[in-house]
Amino acid sequence: MSGETKFSVMCSLFNWIQKSKSSTKKRSKFRKFLDTYCKPTDYFAAVRLILPNLDRERGSYGLKESVLATCIIDALGMSRESVDAVRLINWRKGGAKTGVNVGNFSLVASEVLQRRQGMISGGLTIKELNDLLDRLASSENRAEKTSVLSDLIKKTNAQEMKWIVMIILKDLKLGISEKSIFHEFHPDAEDLFNVTCDLKLVCERLRDRRQRHKRQDIEVGKAVRPQLALRVANAASAWKKLHGKEVVIECKFDGDRIQIHKNGHEIHFFSRNFLDHTEYIHGMSNFIKQNVLVDRCILDGEMLVWDTSNDRFADFGSNQEIGFPYALLHVAFDILYVGDSSVIHQSLKERHELLKKVVKPVKGSLEILVPDGGLNVHTTAGEPCWSRIAYNVDDVETFFKRTIENRDEGIVLKDLESKWEPSDRSGKWLKLKPDYVRAGSDLDVLIIGGYYGSGRRGGQVAQFLMGLAERPAPNTYPRRFVSFCRVGTGLSDEELDAVVNKLKPYFRKYEYPKKGPPTYYKVTNNSKERPDVWIDSPEKSIILSITSDIRTIRSEVFAAPYSLRFPRIDKVRDDKPWHECLDVESFVELVHSSNHT
Ligand code: ATP
């Protein structure tokens, strides 16, 4: 009978796996659980709890840590001002009394729950838990979610609830890979999942764990896990890896990997995490129906945004609000299925030929990427080519340099003889990207000025002038900031709006040349990067984490000795006060040390 496996048994399993150091031990615990404690009819119910991020049967919970925190506080009937409530809300930073678990939401939650829940298991079965999680996902507002959480709290102890919180956040931190889970479950599980992206189907079809399954090919309408690219350090090592092969080099577009499945009038847009992006139907379906010349097919490519008024790619983030002049553009770089058969076993060269036959390109809407052809749009450098055959390492080097100048993400090299393999990252495709200084907490710099945008963001601040601090005397705050770089990309429109709105009261128009810059900012006289507004007091400003191409440039435009090539905003550091801005000396040290490695 289904539904008998108790959740408490799974919690013990989770604890064991987490505690075990070696992956062999972790795997054997899971195998024992399947062999001994889990009924075959419960396989799906159990596996979806251990691999929650692969489960597409249940919709999204709409619960990130911050909302989950308030729901738990309400479900426990706590005052929002109580010490524990503040601890939950501030789980990332810790409250007045900083606990050891700061930064780990489920541990902070379990600390809080432990004081309110008993030790005795509520006896919940995994079937009952899944039913409650279904209710949680389908409940429409916070009150309903809170009531489901309160039910869950009643039926569990703190230990069980900790794991439930992790299931809801879709990360169990068990230190066992998805691959190992699949392998212990069934030798064919991983392959079957890769071509169906359907956990339920895998658990049900492979319920007899000793019976081998016939290898399955891809199907139209079922997402397939994409062929991936292996990262290489430079053009020479890429060339060495593909030695003797016929190689195509392509621009690495910076959008979203989307598989288009066309089955007559039914069209799906599957992303890498196999969600069907129905929001693309409106902007794309007609182009696909009219210009994909077969009834059934799967195209593999990148979804991008095309700026129709300037005839160029727009930042992908702007696709949240597609509308004139922005339009969706799918660049198909591969084809996986044509008519009634899969073509992934054919060579890439053959698939390029098929792509040319099957897709009639439409400028700025549906393009194909094939060597020395396709893609009717020009690079910034004015060259019409985004893909070409490489004959030697210099070809690779030149192509890479050009994409960098063009500010593209990098390049992808592909073996033209290779077949397309789901989820493979063995090196048939290689990617070469400029190295970025991973900002982390290192390149946290302060906004000191702003630039008005154009077009959509006309009349509003859309880019920032960033400053490094002049190193202050010990135990004092910095008093002066040195102009450092100009940055505009990286944030979503919402994030940018939030920063601009917070700073608006402190914008002071730069009335050049009538008035000089504020004395607490050091800038050069160079007119190139003169901001439109200054932040009139650094103490009110905001820190941003900046990432960049590792090659810093000696700067005459900015007051700091070096600036960044192609800087991007990585995140807004609301949690960092203005005075923790990186200082010039530390930055220079960082530049020198990265140049030595
Ligand atoms: P990254 O963060 O570098 O994009 P990733 O892990 O998302 O890495 P990889 O498999 O390493 O993905 O790199 C391939 C990704 O690059 C694809 O998933 C796709 O989204 C993107 N891409 C852009 N242009 C191309 C192209 N011409 N051919 C293949 N992939 C491309």
Which among 379, 374, 354, 273 is positioned nearest to 51, based on CA atoms?
273
Indicate which residue's Cα is closest to atom 31 of ligand 1. Answer: 252
Of 230, 231, 257, best ligand 1 pocket probe by most atoms within 8 Å of the beta carbon: 257
Q: What are the Cα distances from residue 340, in Å, to 217, 220, 431, 565?
A: 12, 9, 32, 48
| CB 388 less than 6 A from any atom of ligand 1 | no
Indicate which residue's Cα is closest to atom 8 of ligand 1. Answer: 229
Render pLDDT for 245-298 as a digit per residue (tens, 0 to 9).
Answer: 999 999 999 889 999 999 999 999 999 999 999 999 998 999 999 999 999 999
- What confidence score (pLDDT) does residue 274 get? 93
Which among 251, 237, 288 is positioned nearest to 266, based on CA atoms?
288
Nearest ligand 1 atom to alpha carbon 229 = 10
Q: How many residues does the chain have?
A: 597
Report the separation in Å between the CA atom of 63 and the middle of ligand 1, taken as the mean of its atom positions: 28
ipTM of the complex: 0.96
| CB 257 less than 6 A from any atom of ligand 1 | yes
Residue type, 374: G
Alpha-carbon gap, residue 20 to 351, rounded angstroms = 46
Indicate which residue's Cα is closest to atom 24 of ligand 1. Answer: 252
Domain boundaries, the chain: 7-168, 230-432, 444-596
> Phi/psi zone of residue 200: left (φ > 0), alpha (ψ -120 to 50 degrees), beta?
alpha
* Class for the domain spanning 7-168: mainly alpha
Q: Is 514 a catalytic residue?
A: no
Residue indicated by tokens 């140049």: 595
Judge whether 173 and 114 are in contact, CB under 8 Å.
no
What DSSP string describes 540-591?
G--EEEEEEEEEEEE-SSSSSSEEEEEEEEEEE-TTS-GGGPPBHHHHHHHH
| CB 431 less than 6 A from any atom of ligand 1 | yes
Nearest ligand 1 atom to alpha carbon 429 = 29
Report the separation in Å between the CA atom of 444 and the middle of ligand 1, taken as the mean of its atom positions: 27
Spell out a b/e string for 459-479, using b for 16 or more CB atoms within 10 Å of the CB, else e.
eebbbbbbbbbbeeeeeeebe
Helix segments in 429-515, DSSP class H: 493-503
26, 29, 252, 428: the active-site residue: 252
The upper half-sphere exposure of residue 527, i.e. CA atoms within 13 Å in the direction of its Cβ, equals: 2
Of 248, 302, 333, 436, best ligand 1 pocket probe by most atoms within 8 Å of the beta carbon: 302
Which among 113, 196, 105, 200 is positioned nearest to 152, based on CA atoms?
113
| pTM score above 0.90 | no
Report the separation in Å between the CA atom of 252 and the middle of ligand 1, taken as the mean of its atom positions: 7
Q: Which two tokens stand for residue 314?
A: 């727009």
| CB 250 less than 6 A from any atom of ligand 1 | yes
- What confidence score (pLDDT) does residue 141 get? 93
Judge whether 466 and 443 are in contact, CB under 8 Å.
no
Report the separation in Å between the CA atom of 59 and the middle of ligand 1, taken as the mean of its atom positions: 26
Contacts 24+ apart (CB under 8 A), 373-377: 375/331, 377/306, 377/311, 377/312, 377/313
Superfamily classification of domain 230-432:
DNA ligase/mRNA capping enzyme (3.30.470.30)
Nearest ligand 1 atom to alpha carbon 251 = 27
| CB 432 less than 6 A from any atom of ligand 1 | no
Render pLDDT for 219-236 as a digit per residue (tens, 0 to 9).
Answer: 999 999 999 999 888 899
- What confidence score (pLDDT) does residue 116 get? 86
- Radius of gyration from C-alpha coordinates of the chain: 27
Below-50 pLDDT ranges, the chain: 95-96, 98, 318-319, 380-381, 436-441, 595-597
- What confidence score (pLDDT) does residue 551 get? 59
Judge whether 321 and 276 are in contact, CB under 8 Å.
no
Which among 120, 163, 125 is positioned nearest to 13, based on CA atoms?
163
Is CATH 2.40.50.140 the classification given to domain 444-596?
A: yes
Work out the burial of residue 95: count CB atoms within 10 Å of its CB; fewer than 13 is exposed, 13-18 middle, 19 or more buried: middle
What are the residues facing 313 on neighbouring strands?
306
